Amino acid sequence: MRGLLAILLATMLILPIHASAASSKLWDDARLGMNAGTMGGPSILLSNNTTNEKSTIEVSDLPSIVEVYTATWCFNCVKTEIALDEAIGSHEVLRFHYHRYLYETLDPFGSESSDSRWIEEYGRGSLESSETPYLSGTERAAPSKVFDGERMYTGDSTRSNSLVTDYSTALSLGSSHPFQGNGTMSMEIAKSENGAVVNWYNDLSSSRDWTAEAVLMIVEDSIYYPNGTNGLDYYHHVLHETIQLPNWNNGSLQVALPPPWDGDDISLILLIDWETTIPAQAGSLPAPAVSTLLCLLAALTPRRKKINTH
């Protein structure tokens, strides 16, 4: 283990040279001009045997959030998602894969609600991304990755010495949400003939001024679909629908559930989109000194178990 760590540390010391050559920034801002992000959340699997389930999670235990924009025809998406898998390893992560929907003829998995969320939250960030000349002018760039609603990578070019290092660094930062560590997020689901009744409750508090919105994500863990043109047979973490909840901190809502593509592995996951009134800082940090520090910290951080949505 020590030998492996030594190799990792030596590799990270070389990173500033590569990072400086590839880009002056380690990532792009996902939400331009905003000190904002996404955090979450309780997750409940809706199996055929599910009737009433409850999930509660403390703020101190919240997993990282990775949102991916992809398509079943996107070869570059496969490359970046392999790198993302390696970067995640055994970290606690919730993943949401948005598939193209608007004006899409080949990918069957997208939805109007998922495309609308991506455009609203990350469309401007995608348009302004400096690393996607071949994707310029689009709000829905495949491939794209967003970490904790804050840090965006578009395309398949690296900012450092590899995509794995890029994504590992973004994961190591975690969420910069303003909430104190003694709060909790809770969700309870009761299945019905018309779908499910979802109840949620959050007792989050902060010393800063902030606003928040709650969103419900409906995700299918794995779908067999050999008809895509990017060489994959299975697509994972597929986002069916997003539902904006009427209140961020508590409420109850009847939800219509989409039929699964296959299997019995649809989950409901509660997220919070937050924003503080503190002005956003200069988005991405300069690569030379900070990238080394972040990656050293990432190498020293113990790995945690991965959260599955099935």
Residue-by-residue DSSP string for 30-43: SSTT--EEEEEEEE
Average pLDDT of 55-59?
Answer: 95
Instruction: Find residue 219's DSSP bridge partners.
Output: 239, 267
**Mean pLDDT on 29-41:** 93
Sequence-separated (6 or more) residues with CB below 8 Å from residue 49: none
Helix, strand or coil for residue 146?
A: strand
Residue 58 has pLDDT above 50, yes or no: yes
**Residue 129: burial class (beta carbons within 10 Å; 0-12, 13-18, 19+):** buried
Q: What is the CA radius of gyration of the chain?
A: 19
Dig out the tokens for 24 from the structure: 């002056």
Find the mean pLDDT for residues 95-120. 97
Q: Which of 59, 84, 198 is nearest to 145 (CA)?
A: 84
Sheet with 184-192, side-by-side order of all strands: 52-58, 184-192, 195-202, 250-255
pLDDT of residue 24: 57
The pLDDT of residue 67 is: 98
> Which residue type does 11 have?
T
pLDDT at 165: 97
Q: Among 43-52, 78-87, 273-282, 296-305, where is mean pLDDT lowest?
A: 296-305
Tens of pLDDT, residue by residue over 141-172, are 999 999 999 999 999 999 899 999 999 999 99
- Give me the pLDDT at residue 135, please: 66
C-beta of residue 67 within 8 angstroms of C-beta of residue 119: no
pTM: 0.84
> Using an 8 Å Cβ cutoff, are 107 and 80 in contact?
no
| Tokens linked to 86 | 């390696």
State the Cα angle at 107 between 105 and 112, rounded to 5°.
85
